[in-house]
Structure 1
Amino acid sequence: MNITYRLDITPATSAVIEVYDSSGINRPTNDEARIAKMYANSDVVATAWDDEVLVGVARSVTDYCYCCYLSDLAVRSDYQNAGIGKKLIALTKEHLGDECMLLLVAAPSAANYYPKIGMDRISDAFTIKRKV
């Protein structure tokens, strides 16, 4: 397996949907236009490729100087546990620089993963849930 990582491409929406559906992440993959809009409005998209096949993605929104919200991290199920997610996070953080913090909200099924790769757990985050 020879995985390459890129920050200079936004993958095709259909490829992103395939990764999301395979990874188990809960996203509105039945709404292709919404997924496309999510990526059109993102600031940082880190991708992992096995030749021409998209196998992982980290999508973030940021001000580049204080904070960054890593809103999606997904790796195809057959590529999980190979360090791809960890590398996508590291690549995102490296791109942002030292003055920018990285924040994400973990799905309950993934909450134990992030401390294992060096992220700190916080308990004082709040949300207003989307209606759609």
Structure 2
Amino acid sequence: MISYSDQAPITAKQAIDLYERSTLGERRPINNVTTFELMLKNANLIVTAWDDDKLIGISRSLTDFAYVAYLADLAVDEQYQRTGIGKQLIEETKARLGPECMIVLLAAPKANAYYEHLGFEHNPRAWTLKK
């Protein structure tokens, strides 16, 4: 049975393992445990999906809970993809936000088509500034 939580503690090692199993590891600093620890520590809304004690999904957001939530990471173990877990992680995230709070994200190239069928609208005005 799959369970969802916003209180379950997770380690950087667990998160890195999940990101590798989800292909999101291709675009995240999985070789830097310290960075991952800070990513988890400083995100203010993390919802996780578990199959018993195995971490199989994560929604990691930065938000003010009122106007906007930046969904920084949505990762689901490849063996569990196409079973509704990603969609449920987004629903669990939305349930913890204010009623007028929008979710903004930058889609990974392989997941670009995924978000439209969940009701997300494409916005071509996203910009990034790398250090």
Normalising TM by the smaller chain, what interval? over 0.9
CA distance, structure 2, for counterparts of residue 96 and residue 31 of structure 1: 30
In structure 1, the residue corresponding to 2:94 is in which secondary structure?
A: helix
The letter for the 1-side match of 2:67 is Y
TM-score with structure 1 length normalisation? 0.94
Deviation at 1:65, TM superposition (A): 1.1
CA distance, structure 2, for counterparts of residue 27 and residue 59 of structure 1: 13
CA distance, structure 2, for counterparts of residue 98 and residue 124 of structure 1: 24
The letter for the 2-side match of 1:101 is M
Please give the root-mean-square deviation of Cα atoms over the aligned residues, in Å.
Answer: 0.9
Instruction: Name the residue aligned to 2:75.
Output: 74
- Note the residue ranges of structure 1 that are not aligned, 5 or more in a row: none
Instruction: Name the residue aligned to 2:53.
Output: 52
Say whether the 8 Å CA contact 1:10–1:45 is kept in structure 2: no
Say whether the 8 Å CA contact 1:48–1:56 is kept in structure 2: yes
- Note the residue ranges of structure 2 that are not aligned, 5 or more in a row: none
CA distance, structure 1, for counterparts of residue 128 and residue 13 of structure 2: 29
Aligned residues: 129
CA distance, structure 2, for counterparts of residue 114 and residue 100 of structure 1: 17
What's the CA shift string for 1:69-121, capped at 9, x where partnerless? Answer: 00000011101111101100111011002121100000111100000112111
Deviation at 1:9, TM superposition (A): 2.2
Q: Percent identity?
A: 43
List structure 1 segments (4+ residues) > 4 angstroms apart after TM superposition: none
